[in-house]
Amino acid sequence: MARFRLRNAHCLQNVEMKTPVWLPGDTDNEHLGDEKGTIVGTGTAYPIESATTEMVPLDAEAEAMLAAEEERLARNGGTMTPVDQLPGTTGGDDYEDRYVPGTNKPRPRSEPRSDQMQKSA
């Protein structure tokens, strides 16, 4: 019975309407008072498969899900964005400089022509 209260707005799938829905969190409803974020999870139209750190756990199962998410973030360098978890290039690759649009091959390197060498000298 994992139930959460949203701290910040989330876009979650509504299982009854089968459509994504924007749900306000505590920060979006500050004008209504404290702790007015949308309740999601078991028993609502917004089931939660994985918790985020922007959710407040309301029961023991939710606390366990949140602890698992915090552990995952610790392993992945603290990023919540999956794209940030992909390995990046560190440079030194000139493929983009030599890329010919519309092909899957880089442009072959060519030796400068003799008339180009004379102009630069």
Q: What are the tokens at 121?
A: 């000298």
What SS3 class is residue 5? strand
* 41 compared with 120, residue with greater pLDDT: 41
Reported as a single tens digit per residue, the pLDDT across 8-43 is: 998 999 999 899 999 998 888 878 877 788 999 999
- Closest C-alpha to 44, from 23, 65, 30: 23
CA 26 → CA 36, 37, 52, 60, 64, distances in Å? 5, 4, 14, 21, 21
Strand 3-6 and strand 39-41: pairing? Answer: antiparallel
Domain spans, the chain: 3-77
**pLDDT score of 99:** 65
